[in-house]
């Protein structure tokens, strides 16, 4: 589904990312962990054709993401607040997405319907701009926009950050449901080892731009990771 | 960092150049009114135009004045009495460009021209009346702005009121400026206008004070001034596809941010410059076509030039949103194009009456320059906008903020204005200014006909440039 080959990003002398080969099959829930500056966000941005690689490429379904746009139709992503048009109300923003993905009004409300619990009535119908919402609610708008229009791939950077405990649990359920029902491929980066080991089938540990560990997600993973981060 | 520093230096230089000029104007104000404008009584002239100055001030405050609100939040957790805080906030609000205009421009005038006519006491009374009246407007507007954030019809009502005030004038009725002139004329002779102004001021201050002491909680002042603009939804109909949606998005951006709004406001205000330029015989003489080029260019293109200066920077907070979503850059560029030409068309329609009053030459000039703006300058603005755009802070509350202005933005304005001037020079040399105008118009028309291929070309350029643009918007 996703293939990164000889992918390298350098800023001057500093190597931000250097991945020889990384393949993510369809339906996998792929977790990315690592300290600050390990290259997690850089990897996602390279994938999404938001920065230019120094070398190599990322392809989705065999297509180089820097050369075509077709992958955007089935790839949902939310990395940070710059992914949201923050002077719109959430409704206006979702209507904008509906326009981009050619959804009717009815389809739009069908898409949003499963998220009504997730929003806890604090996001829609409040007459607030996105920028006036709390950090957690902004994150929710971003996450729902990544889930929008039934994508085949969903990329989330630090999705659990700023969410209240209830919402974190709900998000995990949403991810598991999408994965089970529609075989959605997830790419999730997180500092929360508990969450990421709980939901991910596979966890890659990045350090200074390089893949240090490529682990299968099972009951031992959490301990392995904890031991690693304690010793470093 | 070097470029930001340079921009700062340029601004300091501009202030350094403008301030002495204002002081010089203030000193020679009397001479200017008598010799240049031909009024024999300079005081009567000032008294007459004061109405328009105050009206302008009210309108500018309506759109641009910063409401003194959030500053109070830093003190709320501490044991300071609310009335003290309210007085503090209201006094602090006096630090405002609107407050210094009258002292700056009229102090010298009061104690020369007015003093000659009315004596020392008269000059003082006149001067103080003006200051106190200005303070009344200051606090009155704070109250009105606070109230009107919930009731958007108040500013519209105010505009209507100002216009209706002048209606009788056209049927040989009373001229409103005569009444204010009489009022300030009386101020030189007896203390009643001063007392009246003081009464108005205390009323305005008390109402503002009342408002602040009764609405001091964060949630009751918060973003209420922004809510007022939420209700203005001037948008294109849905049928223009994704491009139309993007244009609507940008219209919302302009309406909802003070900095963008003030550009719109100034573009509209700038239209009045025609009143000064066009009646001048020289402008409409034979050698005047160069003036028609520049007035046409600026009047129809003011918004294009000003807003286009930051064309992509306006989106610096969320360009990633467009890159991550399946938004074709062609549609994105096209939305910029259509927004800009809509602004040109709007301004063009608003200045049509000038042709009625001052002759058809103006219509020709403005039409040709409208085409030039719509067919040439708009593409230059889009292309130049991709050249080292800087991150722009939309939340910045100041209307006159220079944050995000880099060297590139200063330089890019030049070709837009100078190029058409250079292009008509050969025509002027042979005394064929009309053909020069037509030439520019036809160039514009050709550009408009070629808009689709040009937009595609610009989209391809942005395909290359988008990484650098997005990166400069991300870094802080």
The CA distance from B360 to A211, in Å, is 73
Bin B381: left if φ > 0, else alpha if -120 < ψ < 50, else beta: alpha
- Same domain, yes or no: B342 and B383: yes
Contact indicator for A94, A108 with CB cutoff of 8 Å? yes
Q: Which three-class secondary structure state does DSSP give residue A11?
A: strand
Nearest CA among B384, B371, B348 for reference residue B449 = B371
Q: Is residue B4 part of a domain?
A: no
The closest alpha carbon to B184, from B392, B41, B37, belongs to B41
Distance from CA of A6 to the nearest CA of B (A): 20
Please name the helix (run of DSSP H) or strand (run of DSSP E) that holds residue A213, with its range, or none: strand A210-216
Look at residue B133 and tell me if it is in a domain. yes
Q: What phi and psi, each to the nearest 5 degrees, are found at residue B359? A: 110, 155
A221 to chain B, closest Cα gap in Å: 32
Residue range A204-229: average pLDDT?
88
Q: Which of A50, A73, A89 sits opposite B470 (nearest CB)?
A: A50
Give me the pLDDT at residue A160, please.
94
* A132, closest residue in chain B (CA to CA): B223
Span A76-113, pLDDT tens digits: 999 999 999 989 999 999 999 998 998 899 999 999 99
Architecture of domain A2-231: 3-Layer(aba) Sandwich (3.40)
pLDDT at position B399 is 45
Domain assignment present for B29 = no
Of A5, A25, A9, which is closest to residue A17 (Cα–Cα)? A9
- Chain B contact set for A82 (CB, 8 A): 317-321, 473-474
Chain B positions in Cβ-Cβ contact with residue A100 (cut-off 8 Å): 242, 325-327
CA B53 from centre of chain:
15
DSSP string, B9-61: HHHHHHHHHHHHHHHHHHHTHHHIIIIIS--S-HHHHHHHHHHHHHHHHHHHH
DSSP bridge partners of A30: A187, A202
Classified as helix, coil or strand, A3 is strand
Tokens 């920077």 sit on residue: B313
Spatial separation of the C-alpha atoms in residues B194 and B127, rounded to whole Å: 9
- Whether B124 is in a domain gets the answer yes
Q: Which of A29-43, A141-155, B120-134, B280-294 has the lowest mean pLDDT?
A: B280-294
Interchain CB contacts (distance < 8 Å): A and B: 67
Q: Is residue B139 part of a domain?
A: yes
Q: How far apart are CA B455 and CA A165, in angstroms?
A: 48
Pick from B320, B397, B465, B475 the residue to mutate for testing the A interface (most A CBs within 10 Å). B320
User: What pLDDT does residue A125 have?
Assistant: 85
- At which of B229, B250, B278 does a domain end? B229
At which residue do the structure tokens 């009024």 appear?
B39
- pLDDT score for A77: 94
pLDDT in the model for residue B231: 59
User: Looking at residue B149, what is its pLDDT?
Assistant: 61
Cβ–Cβ under 8 Å, residues A49 and B323: yes
Distance (Å) from the C-alpha of residue A224 to the closest C-alpha of chain B?
Answer: 34
Measured between CB atoms, which of B328, B394, B467 is closest to A87?
A: B394
Query: Among A52, A81, A132, whose Cβ lies nearest the Cβ of B223?
Result: A132
Give the Å distances, CA to CA, from A210 to A6, A10, A20, A34. 11, 12, 9, 10
Residues 6+ apart with CB under 8 A from B369: B292, B293, B296, B297, B299, B300, B301, B420, B437, B440, B441, B444
In order of A16, A147, A159, B317, the CA distances from A80 in angstroms are 19, 15, 10, 11
Cα R_g (chain B), whole angstroms: 25
**In this complex, do B395 and A131 lie within 8 Å of one another by their Cβ atoms?**
yes
Over A159-191, what HEC string results?
CCCCCCHHHHHHHHHHHHHHHHHHCCEEEEECC
Q: Same domain, yes or no, for B246 and B277?
A: yes
Tell me how far apart the alpha carbons of residues B437 and B399 are, in angstroms, rounded to a whole number: 35
Where in the sequence is the domain holding B220, given as residue range(s)?
Answer: 41-229
Q: Which of A86, A100, A131 sits opposite B325 (nearest CB)?
A: A100
Q: Which residue has the higher pLDDT, A130 or B240?
A: A130
Which of B229, B251, B279 is the last residue before a domain boundary?
B229
Q: What pLDDT does B52 receive?
A: 85
Averaged pLDDT for residues A160-183: 93
What phi and psi values does residue A206 have, to the nearest 5 degrees? -100, 145
Half-sphere exposure of A175 (CA within 13 A, CB side): 27
Q: Are B459 and B333 in contact (CB under 8 A)?
A: yes
Residue finishing a domain among B174, B202, B229: B229
Q: Rounded to a whole number, what is the distance in angstroms from the first to the last CA of chain B?
A: 11
Flag if B320 and A99 touch (Cβ within 8 Å): no
Mark yes or no for CB contact B245/A49 under 8 Å: no
Q: Higher confidence at residue A50 or residue B394?
A: A50
Mutate to test the interface with B, among A87, A108, A146, A157 (most CBs of B within 10 A): A87
CB contact under 8 A, A82 and B394: no
Q: Which residues of A touch B (CB under 8 A)?
A: 48-52, 69, 72-73, 77, 79-89, 92, 96-97, 99-101, 127, 129, 131-132
- Sign of the dihedral defined by the CA atoms of residues B415, B416, B417, B422, in that order: positive
Indicate the residue of A83, A99, A131 with minimum beta-carbon distance to B242. A99
B chain contacts of residue A131, beta-carbon cutoff 8 Å: 395
Closest to A204 in 3D by CA, of A81, A20, A6: A20
Which pLDDT tens digits describe chain B residue by residue (476 residues)? 344 455 556 556 666 667 777 788 888 888 888 887 778 888 888 888 888 888 888 877 876 666 765 455 677 677 777 788 788 888 888 877 788 888 888 888 988 888 888 889 999 999 999 999 999 999 998 888 777 665 666 767 777 887 787 777 777 777 778 888 889 989 889 999 999 999 999 999 999 888 877 766 544 444 444 555 665 666 777 778 889 989 988 998 988 887 788 788 888 888 887 777 776 655 555 457 888 888 899 999 999 988 888 899 899 889 999 998 899 999 999 999 999 999 999 999 999 888 887 788 889 999 999 999 999 999 999 998 888 788 887 776 544 455 555 566 667 777 888 899 889 888 888 888 889 999 999 999 999 999 999 999 999 999 999 998 998 888 65
What is the C-alpha separation between A168 and A160, in angstroms, rounded?
6
Cα Rg, chain A, nearest whole Å: 18
A64: enclosing H helix or E strand: strand A63-64
Determine the straight-line distance between the first and last CA of chain A, rounded to whole angstroms.
33
Q: Which residue has the tokens 């906008």?
A: B385
Instruction: Tell whether B164 and B310 lie within a shared domain.
Output: no
Number of domains chain B contains: 2
Is there a single domain that holds both residue B190 and residue B248? Answer: no
Tokens of A194: 């508990």
DSSP letter string, A126-143: S---GGGS-HHHHHHHHH
Nearest to B328 among A69, A127, A129 (CB): A69
> Tell me, what DSSP letter sits at residue B268?
H
Contact across the interface for B321 and A83, Cβ inside 8 Å: yes
Comparing alpha-carbon positions, the chain A residue that sits nearest to B327 is: A100
- DSSP class of residue A38 equals S
Residues B267 and B365 in one domain: yes
Give the list of residues 6+ apart from residue B142 with CB closer than 8 angstroms, or none: B65, B67, B68, B90, B93, B204, B208, B211
């Amino acid at each position: 589904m996703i293939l990164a080959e000889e992918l390298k990003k350098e800023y001057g002398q500093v190597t931000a990312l250097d991945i020889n080969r990384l393949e993510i099959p369809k339906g996998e829930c792929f977790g990315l962990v690592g300290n600050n500056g390990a290259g997690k966000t850089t990897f996602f941005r390279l994938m999404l054709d938001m920065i230019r690689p120094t070398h190599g490429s990322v392809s989705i379904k065999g297509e180089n993401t820097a050369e075509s746009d077709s992958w955007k139709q089935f790839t949902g992503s939310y990395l940070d607040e710059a992914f949201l048009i923050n002077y719109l109300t959430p409704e206006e923003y979702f209507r904008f997405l509906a326009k981009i993905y050619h959804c009717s009004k009815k389809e739009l409300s069908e898409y949003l319907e499963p998220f009504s619990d997730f929003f806890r009535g604090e996001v829609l119908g409040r007459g607030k701009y996105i920028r006036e919402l709390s950090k957690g609610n902004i994150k929710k708008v971003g996450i729902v926009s990544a889930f929008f229009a039934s994508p085949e791939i969903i990329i989330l950077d630090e999705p659990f950050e700023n969410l209240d405990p209830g919402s974190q649990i709900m998000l995990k359920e949403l991810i598991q449901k999408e994965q089970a029902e529609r075989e959605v491929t997830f790419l999730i980066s997180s500092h929360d080892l508990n969450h990421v080991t709980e939901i991910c089938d596979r966890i890659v540990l990045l350090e200074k731009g390089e893949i240090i560990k490529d682990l299968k997600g099972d009951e031992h993973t959490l301990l392995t990771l904890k031991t690693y981060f304690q010793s470093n | 960092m070097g470029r930001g520093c340079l921009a700062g230096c340029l601004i300091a230089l501009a202030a350094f150049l403008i301030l002495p000029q204002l002081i010089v104007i203030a000193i020679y104000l009397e001479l200017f009114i008598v010799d240049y404008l031909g009024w024999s009584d300079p005081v009567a002239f000032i008294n007459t135009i004061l109405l328009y100055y105050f009206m302008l001030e009210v309108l500018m405050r309506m759109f641009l004045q910063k409401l003194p609100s959030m500053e109070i939040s830093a003190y709320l957790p501490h044991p300071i009495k609310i009335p003290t805080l309210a007085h503090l906030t209201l006094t602090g609000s006096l630090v405002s460009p609107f407050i210094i205009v009258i002292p700056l421009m009229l102090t010298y005038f009061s104690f020369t021209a007015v003093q000659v006519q009315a004596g020392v006491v008269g000059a003082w009374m006149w001067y103080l009346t003006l200051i106190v009246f200005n303070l009344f407007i200051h606090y009155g507007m704070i109250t009105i702005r606070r109230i009107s954030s919930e009731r958007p019809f108040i500013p519209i009502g105010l505009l209507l009121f100002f216009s209706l005030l002048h209606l009788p004038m056209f049927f040989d009725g009373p001229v409103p400026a005569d009444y204010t002139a009489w009022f300030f004329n009386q101020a030189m002779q007896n203390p009643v206008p001063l007392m009246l102004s003081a009464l108005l001021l205390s009323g305005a201050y008390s109402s503002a004070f009342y408002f602040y002491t009764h609405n001091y909680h964060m949630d009751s002042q918060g973003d209420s001034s922004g809510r007022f603009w939420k209700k203005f939804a001037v948008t294109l109909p849905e049928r223009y596809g994704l491009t139309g949606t993007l244009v609507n998005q940008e219209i919302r951006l302009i309406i909802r941010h003070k900095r963008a709004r003030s550009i719109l406001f100034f573009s509209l205000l700038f239209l009045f410059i025609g009143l000064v330029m066009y009646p001048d015989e020289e402008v409409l003489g034979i050698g005047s076509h160069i003036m028609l080029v520049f007035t046409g260019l600026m009047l129809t293109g003011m918004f294009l030039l000003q807003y286009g200066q930051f064309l992509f920077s306006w989106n610096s907070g969320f360009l990633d949103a467009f890159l991550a979503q399946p938004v074709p850059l062609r549609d994105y560029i096209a939305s910029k194009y259509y927004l800009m030409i809509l602004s040109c068309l709007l301004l063009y329609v608003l200045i049509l009456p000038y042709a009625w009053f001052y002759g058809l030459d103006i219509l020709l000039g403005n039409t040709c320059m409208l085409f030039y703006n719509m067919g040439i300058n708009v593409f230059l603005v889009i292309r130049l906008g991709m050249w080292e755009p800087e991150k722009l802070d939309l939340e910045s509350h100041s209307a006159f903020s220079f944050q995000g202005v880099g060297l590139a933005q200063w330089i890019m304005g030049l070709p837009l204005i100078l190029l058409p001037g250079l292009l008509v020079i050969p025509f002027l040399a042979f005394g064929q200014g009309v053909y020069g105008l037509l030439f520019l118009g036809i160039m514009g028309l050709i550009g408009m006909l070629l808009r689709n291929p040009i937009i595609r070309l610009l989209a391809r350029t942005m395909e290359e440039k988008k990484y650098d643009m997005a990166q400069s918007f991300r870094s802080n």
